[in-house]
Amino acid sequence: MTLQVNKPRVEYFTNPIGIDAERPRFSWILASDAADQRQSAWQIRVASDPASLPDGTADLWDSGKVTSRDTAGIHYGGPLTGSGERVWWTVRVWNQDDEASDWIEPQYWETGLLDPLEWHAKWVMAPRLAPDAGIPETEELDGLLPAAYFRHTFNVEKPVRQARLYATCRGVYEPHLNGERLGDQVFAPGWTDYFRRIQYQTYDVTANIQQGTNAIGGIAGTGWFAGYVGWHKQCRMYGQSPQLLMQLHVDYEDGTRDIIVSDRDWQSTTGPIRYSDFQMGEYYDARREIPGWNTAGFDASSWGGVETAGLGYLPMYADSSEPVRAMESFAAVARTEPEPGTFVFDIGQNIAGWATLRAKGPAGTTITLRFAEILNPDGTIYTENLRDARVTDTFVLAGTGEEEVFTPRFTFHGFRYVEITGYPGTPDLDAVTATFVGSDTTPSGRFTCSDDLVNKLQQNIVYGQRGNFLSVPTDCPQRDERLGWLGDAQVFVGTASYNMDVAAFFTKWSRDMSDAQSPAGAYSNVAPRAVDSRDSAPAWADCGVIVPWTMWKKYGDTGIIEQQWDSMERWMAYWLKWNPNLLWQNKRGNDYGDWLSIGADTDKELIGTAYAAYDAKLMAQMAAATGREDRATWYRDLHSRIAQAFCDAYVSDDGLVKGDTQTSYCVALHFGLVPENMREKLADRLVADVRAKGTHLSTGFVGVSYLCHVLSATGHSDVAYELLHQETYPSWKYSILHGATTIWERWDGWTEHKGFQTPTMNSFNHYSLGSVGEWLFRSVAGIGQAEDSAGFVTIRIEPRFDDSLGFVEASYDSIRGPIATRWERAGGEIRLKVEIPANGDAEIVLPTGVELVGSGTHEFVIPV
Ligand code: BGC
């Protein structure tokens, strides 16, 4: 067998259920034990019965043999399937010698509810849900509502063929059926602009249905819908209280169907969760637990009814990205008692998530958990930087005589330290464990090298990403903010897509960006739009173009271009309308500039103009990739006109860019705004500035994401390496040497000379300054793609060797399969080993020249 088809996926998932793409896209990767293998053709068969695959009649679609090397983005070409239909598919491929692979085992996808008219369920709410008067903080913070419990019973009296639950919430929910919690999602249905779009989840509950009486229900919390979101104690942004919506389809063997929907027959109550809010925390009174509430035999006579609301015209969308899940757990590594009765647990890593507490004591014992990223010098927790987020959980023991365990449901915190007070006795070290909670995107990149601090940097970048990719890409997980900031996301998206497979995640969030776009066409600062601020800030608004472009480049996905095209065009038209002379002088909104740079303010009009030119360049490429030739030409022309305006306004003949900051050179060079013959002059000035600062960077969010790329691209990788290894402030290693386990928001979040930065804005888990991760993969490990390639069709291996590292080893699971490099210094030479996946073509760029290779393992020896 020469080629083997692996990782077959539909719309980025293996055997997904409940999708609503009309013509879902297939992808696979190829493996082979022979070198130099290429796919020359593929064939897909789709059938309603897996037994008829691969060789029987594919009743839905047989593509025939299609000559193509594509392995992703291949659209289903058969008749549209109906709602809730499962269809099966298989694929085989041919190699360059026309040898066919085996067909793969039949795979499937299943559609969700495609037609709005198929939704019969109603939103159910607990009537008069009000803050718990017995809890003091609910007086002060009126958004703190008890979680609502809902239930309903129904009968099943015939053999069941299959059952599906379609469910969602305005709030966050946990679905239950016959005594069991369904699925492992956390904070479903995720965050969208609930006024515009609701995501629903689909659960295969065939095995949960029982003959006779069944109990269905769920617990709903306020979440983003009605809880605290953003700053200034803003809550109830979309509605007053959580609302659950469930529709269960029970299909019987005899071909009939029962549909059970949430409606006015349902019952509701409240239970142990007296409130649970993302920012404020959870109050759990175990004395109020309701054992068996989700089972059929439960006596719910004391429960109240529900209020209902119709669906209206609200668009329902199938959840199409990875769910948020509770993932890795952390044992506490240390416990201290800085004040009598106050215990501080260190879990060794700054994370987003929650803590589980074990305790045994009398009924009514009230234990308080507070959370922090960092400690004060006296060992107490530092919480000033949390601003108005209370970040406090309370656990009231039921007094069962046994050990009781508390894990919150609808809150999360950004923390490394957990402070416990009110504990009965002295807690053991294992009384507290912590759990990471975030969007469960699949890791795709691994990077390690001979320098432990660089490895730590990579680890911190990954933790920063994991802690901040929670349904949407957020700025930080701890303070009263946690918003989908566009600027942060766009500077980091390149790095993010090396670390994890973020195709589905950013496809979803790109929709959120369009939802947040102003009617006039301006992209907002945050998506979903959640705080009031003036739109269209340079480097923030441009995210609307940069993120879809990055997804297309990384995953070869033209679908996201189609999805976002109109929105992106509206943005470009808006920009041009307000800036007809091609300098971004008007409508710069909140105009953050090179946010958090160090003593080097870059001219804001200059940054904006550079981004506008960049947008135009990316639009031209995306237009060309989707066959919009006239738009491609138009945007190419726009790019050169803006670039010309940029040069005329800000660049002198001697290579001086206005303001003479590192960032001004970075944007001019990285966005290709100056003529080829000027590049060296600009690069020299950039290097001179770095040197003048004692080989330190001065860049903020914007400049830092281009700095090392630009240095490498202009022949100054040595300087980039020196910045990477710089240990004194400001630098990446500085924070690591001072205990960072994630990327800090600010270079000077804490310094020896000044201590903590202002608590009004000082997060220790903000990924933006970690955007150097892309350079680690692309230039240190050398894993990238050719300039004009998308989806790693032409892999480009271009490691920038440097004396400071003895070896570098990295791999990246590209959409075309795993690419790996390892280089090592041995004696007077460097040995480079490269692995290219089957069907891959690669340019290996060495100091001695460029070599073209196909799939397989390749080794090179480079004298140094
Ligand atoms: C956020 C950012 C964001 C910025 C806008 C901050 O409060 O945390 O990361 O991009 O505001 O400048």
pLDDT in tens, 478-489: 999 999 999 999
Q: How many CB atoms within 10 Å of residue 86?
A: 16
Q: What angle do CA 36, 37, 40 make, to 5 degrees?
A: 135
Q: Which of 167, 174, 66, 79 is nearest to 123 (CA)?
A: 167
**How confident is residue 840, by pLDDT bands cut at 50, 70 and 90?**
very high
- ω into 528 cis (within 30 of 0): yes
> What is the C-alpha R_g of the chain?
28
Average pLDDT rounded to a whole number, residues 276-297: 98
Q: How far is the CA of 475 from the centre of ligand 1 (A)?
A: 7
What pLDDT does 536 receive? Answer: 96
Contacts of 803 (CB under 8 A, 6+ apart): 825
3-state SS of 619-673 is HHHHHHHCCCHHHHHHHHHHHHHHHHHHHHHHECCCCCECCCCHHHHHHHHHCCC
**How confident is residue 533, by pLDDT bands cut at 50, 70 and 90?**
confident
Q: What is the pLDDT of residues 202-245, one digit of tens each?
A: 999 999 999 999 999 999 999 999 999 999 999 999 999 999 99
Average pLDDT rounded to a whole number, residues 173-187: 98
CA 372 to chain centre: 23
**How confident is residue 1, by pLDDT bands cut at 50, 70 and 90?**
low
What pLDDT does 527 receive? Answer: 98
Contacts of 676 (CB under 8 A, 6+ apart): none
Average pLDDT rounded to a whole number, residues 293-307: 98
Q: How far is the CA of 297 from the centre of ligand 1 (A)?
A: 51
The 3-state DSSP class for residue 111 equals strand
- 773 has a pLDDT exceeding 90: yes
DSSP 191-207: ---TTT-EEEEEEE-GG
Q: How far is the CA of 597 from the centre of ligand 1 (A)?
A: 13
Whether the Cβ atoms of residue 62 and residue 45 lie closer than 8 Å to each other: yes
Greatest Cα pair distance, the chain, in angstroms, is 85
What number does the ligand 1 atom closest to the CA of 475 have? 9
Q: How far is the CA of 378 from the centre of ligand 1 (A)?
A: 30
Please state, in angstroms and rounded to a whole number, the distance separating the CA atoms of residues 563 and 578. Answer: 25
- 785 has a pLDDT exceeding 90: yes
Q: Which of 590, 394, 398, 626 is nearest to 486 (CA)?
A: 590
Strand partners, 381: 375
Structure tokens belonging to residue 62: 């047989």
Structure tokens belonging to residue 551: 């997804």
316-318 and 198-204: which strand pairing?
parallel
- ω into 863 cis (within 30 of 0): no
Q: Which of 291, 284, 282 is nearest to 353 (CA)?
A: 282
Q: Would the CB of 592 count as within 6 Å of ligand 1? A: yes
481 is catalytic: yes
Instruction: Tell me how many helices (H) and strands (E) the chain has.
Output: 15, 46
Average pLDDT rounded to a whole number, residues 612-636: 98
Catalytic-labelled residue, pool 11, 110, 373, 745? 745
745 is catalytic: yes
Q: Would the CB of 488 count as within 6 Å of ligand 1? A: yes
- 532 has a pLDDT exceeding 80: no
Compare 827 and 177 and report the one with higher pLDDT: 177
Whether the Cβ atoms of residue 543 and residue 523 lie closer than 8 Å to each other: yes
Q: How many CB atoms within 10 Å of residue 348?
A: 15
Q: Which of 50-59, 255-264, 779-788 has the lowest mean pLDDT?
A: 50-59
Q: Which of 666, 660, 647 is nearest to 583 (CA)?
A: 647
Query: Could you report how far apart the first and last alpha carbons of the chain are, in Å?
Result: 41
Which residue owns the Cα nearest ligand 1 atom 5?
Answer: 592
Half-sphere exposure of 137 (CA within 13 A, CB side): 20
What pLDDT does 691 receive? Answer: 98
Please state, in angstroms and rounded to a whole number, the distance separating the CA atoms of residues 297 and 271. Answer: 18
Whether the Cβ atoms of residue 603 and residue 650 lie closer than 8 Å to each other: yes
- 685 has a pLDDT exceeding 80: yes
What number does the ligand 1 atom closest to the CA of 766 have? 9
φ, ψ (nearest 5 deg) of residue 438:
-175, 175
Structure tokens belonging to residue 566: 């109109």
Q: Would the CB of 481 count as within 6 Å of ligand 1? A: yes
What pLDDT does 56 receive? Answer: 80
How is residue 779 annotated by DSSP?
I
Whether the Cβ atoms of residue 804 and residue 837 lie closer than 8 Å to each other: no
Q: What is the pLDDT of residues 319-332, one digit of tens each?
A: 999 999 999 999 99
Contacts of 573 (CB under 8 A, 6+ apart): 521
What pLDDT does 186 receive? Answer: 98
**How confident is residue 314, by pLDDT bands cut at 50, 70 and 90?**
confident
Structure tokens belonging to residue 143: 């958004």
Contacts of 119 (CB under 8 A, 6+ apart): 113, 166, 247, 311, 316
Which residue owns the Cα nearest ligand 1 atom 9?
Answer: 475
Q: How far is the CA of 485 from the centre of ligand 1 (A)?
A: 7
What number does the ligand 1 atom closest to the CA of 761 have? 7
Which amino acid is it at 424? P
Half-sphere exposure of 145 (CA within 13 A, CB side): 30
Structure tokens belonging to residue 96: 């360059």
- For the chain, what percent of residues have pLDDT higher than 70? 100
Average pLDDT rounded to a whole number, residues 260-271: 98
Instruction: Look at the block and give the residue holding tokens 């409508």.
Output: 587
- Please report which residue ranges of 201-252 form alpha helices under DSSP H: 223-226
What pLDDT does 827 receive? Answer: 86
Average pLDDT rounded to a whole number, residues 765-783: 98
Strand partners, 820: 811, 835
Q: Would the CB of 373 count as within 6 Å of ligand 1? A: no
Please state, in angstroms and rounded to a whole number, the distance separating the CA atoms of residues 166 and 188. Answer: 12
- 706 has a pLDDT exceeding 80: yes
- 531 has a pLDDT exceeding 90: no
How is residue 12 annotated by DSSP?
T
Q: What DSSP element (H or E) covers 573?
A: helix 559-578
The 3-state DSSP class for residue 534 equals coil
Q: Which of 761, 775, 756, 760 is nearest to 697 (CA)?
A: 775
- Please report which residue ranges of 54-143 form alpha helices under DSSP H: 136-140
Catalytic-labelled residue, pool 11, 110, 137, 481? 481
What pLDDT does 315 receive? Answer: 87
Q: What is the pLDDT of residues 88-108, one digit of tens each?
A: 999 999 999 999 999 999 999
Task: Report the interhelical angle of 486-499 vs 543-555 (nearest 10°).
Answer: 10
